[in-house]
């Protein structure tokens, strides 16, 4: 890849008035040469003032553009951005985040230095509101007990090959080689695309020198709904893609919920099931308490230890229930012969 490559930053968004200006401001401050950087905000017809903010920003700063995403799906936004872009490198950013001044430069350098097809870095999770609940929810989704071995969430101190990264910086020829994002997927499009990339022989690297700051949900209801949705959409790609973006860590919550439900149901007719259920819950409680103390010590915020055990349980139950809902939808459609794979 040429050292003077042109870079296209694509930011899909919808109703992000609270975050889009700070996101764009962090992109504006990049050390990467402005003359070789274009920024495309692919908006899903926002109704909260996002579009006006982006238009004002674009009017003041050359290289920023607003493009429409009338289908309001992230994969469609990304594909529209790719089609409208001119860069030899595509950087996919999230509107809920902000980026250090060297973010783009480090991404482009990483592609060149390691010969990778997609690079990303560690995602530092911050609360949208610095309440106790907000701080705790941010801690839950950045701890291994909560999200398993999701490297970009829990952080890595070494360069490593991974299955996906947050956002991602791609060589443009990747999209010419394996196609674009699957527009049948309302969610999980990044996981599915990156798995396709890996199966084609592509290399995805997490580089610890690349860092982004993501603002996590700070209220319980949206946290619960978000994890139900994520759990569903780790299963629903079975209907829409031949590449299934699932690893063991995605299925553990569903197995956990199934195990609890099965033991609870069996305990009424088989006494040992009740003891097994108590044992499983005791082991889980011990693990959740240990993880909570670890997270609280790491954050130097011991108040977190009080609320984290319940939030870890909420995350796993919501995700597991969502996966069960997704599995039910898949089985129902397959039973009707409605297998709509690409």
Domains and CATH numbers, the chain: 7-217 (3.90.550.10), 248-335 (no CATH)
Specify the pLDDT at position 181: 96
Specify the pLDDT at position 270: 92
Q: How do residues 237-296 score in pLDDT, each as one tens digit?
A: 989 888 776 778 889 999 999 999 999 999 989 999 999 999 999 999 999 999 999 999
Specify the pLDDT at position 10: 98
Rg (CA), the chain: 21
Compute the half-sphere exposure of residue 341: CA atoms within 13 Å on the CB side of its CA.
Answer: 12
Q: Which parts of the chain have pLDDT scores under 70?
A: 1-3, 245, 338-342
Q: How do residues 10-34 score in pLDDT, each as one tens digit?
A: 999 999 999 999 999 999 999 999 9
Contact yes or no for 288/309 (Cβ under 8 A): yes
Q: How far apart are CA 39 and CA 194, in angstroms?
A: 22
Q: In the 8-state DSSP scheme, what is residue 130?
A: -
Specify the pLDDT at position 341: 46
pTM: 0.92
Specify the pLDDT at position 288: 98
Bridge partners for 9 per DSSP: 39, 91
Specify the pLDDT at position 3: 59
Q: How would you classify the pairing of strands 160-161 and 89-92?
A: unpaired
Specify the pLDDT at position 342: 47
Specify the pLDDT at position 22: 96
Q: How far apart are CA 90 and CA 94, in angstroms?
A: 13
Contact yes or no for 235/327 (Cβ under 8 A): yes
- Residues 283-291: contacts with CB within 8 Å, 24+ apart? 284/256, 284/313, 285/309, 287/145, 288/145, 288/312, 288/313, 291/143, 291/144, 291/145, 291/146
Specify the pLDDT at position 336: 84
The length of the chain in residues reads: 342
């Amino acid at each position: 890849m040429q050292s003077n490559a042109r870079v296209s930053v694509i930011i899909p968004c919808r109703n992000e008035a609270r975050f889009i200006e700070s996101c764009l401001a962090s992109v504006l401050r990049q050390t990467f040469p402005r003359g070789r950087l274009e920024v495309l905000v692919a908006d899903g017809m926002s109704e909260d003032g996002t579009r006006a903010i982006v238009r004002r920003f674009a009017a003041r700063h050359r290289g920023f553009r607003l493009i429409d995403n009338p289908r309001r799906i992230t994969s469609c936004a990304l594909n529209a951005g790719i089609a409208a872009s001119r860069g030899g490198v595509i950087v996919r950013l999230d509107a809920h985040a902000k980026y250090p001044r060297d973010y783009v430069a480090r991404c482009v350098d990483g592609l060149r230095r390691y010969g990778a097809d997609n690079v990303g870095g560690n995602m530092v999770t911050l609360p949208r509101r610095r309440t106790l609940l907000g701080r705790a929810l941010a801690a839950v989704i950045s701890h291994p007990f909560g999200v398993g071995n999701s490297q970009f969430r829990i952080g890595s101190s070494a360069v490593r090959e991974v299955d996906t990264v947050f956002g991602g910086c791609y060589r443009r020829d990747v999209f010419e080689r394996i196609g674009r994002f699957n527009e049948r997927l309302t969610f999980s499009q990044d996981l599915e695309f990156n798995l396709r990339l890996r199966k084609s022989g592509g290399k995805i690297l997490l580089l610890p020198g690349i860092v982004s700051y993501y603002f996590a949900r700070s209220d319980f209801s949206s946290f619960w709904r978000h994890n139900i949705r994520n759990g569903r959409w780790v299963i629903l790609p079975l209907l829409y893609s031949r590449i299934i973006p699932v690893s063991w860590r995605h299925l553990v919550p569903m197995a956990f919920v199934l195990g609890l439900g099965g033991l609870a149901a069996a305990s009424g007719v088989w006494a040992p099931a009740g003891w097994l259920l108590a044992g499983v819950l005791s082991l889980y409680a011990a693990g959740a308490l240990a993880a909570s103390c670890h997270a609280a010590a790491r954050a130097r915020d011991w108040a977190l230890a009080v609320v984290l055990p319940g939030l870890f349980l909420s995350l796993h139950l919501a995700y597991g229930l969502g996966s069960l809902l997704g599995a039910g939808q898949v089985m129902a459609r397959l039973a009707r012969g409605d297998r709509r794979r690409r």
